[in-house]
Amino acid sequence: MWLSFCPMLTVTEQQAKAQLSRLLERARDGEEIIVTRDGKPYAKVIPLDKDYPEPTNSG
C-alpha cells in the first residue's frame, strides 16, 4: 500500500494573524497547519471530525 506524503503547511504567528480566515478555510478542507513562534512549532490548526457535535449557546 502506498501512502502519499503531504507536508503540513507551516506559517509564522504573524502570518497566521494576517491570514486567519484563509487558514481556517484550509483546515476546514482537511489541511493541518503548524504555527511557529521564534522558529519553533507553537500551535497546530486541524480540521474537526465530521462527527464533531455542533456547539451550543449556554448563555
Contact 7, 31 (CB under 8 A): no
Q: Tell me: domain 9-45, CATH 3.40.1620, correct?
A: yes
| Pairing outcome for strands 33-37 and 40-45 | antiparallel
Give the residue extent of every domain in the chain. Answer: 9-45
What are the grid coordinates assigned to 37, written together? 513562534
User: pLDDT class for 1, splitting at 50, 70, 90?
Assistant: very low
| C-alpha to C-alpha distance for 41 and 38, rounded to whole angstroms | 8
* pLDDT per position as a tens digit, 2-59: 555 567 899 999 999 999 999 999 999 999 999 999 999 999 999 988 777 777 877 6
Residue 5's pLDDT is 58
Q: Are 19 and 9 in contact (CB under 8 A)?
A: no
Tell me 30's DSSP state: T
pTM over 0.85: no
Scan for cell 502570518, then name that residue.
15
Q: What is the pLDDT of residue 55?
A: 75
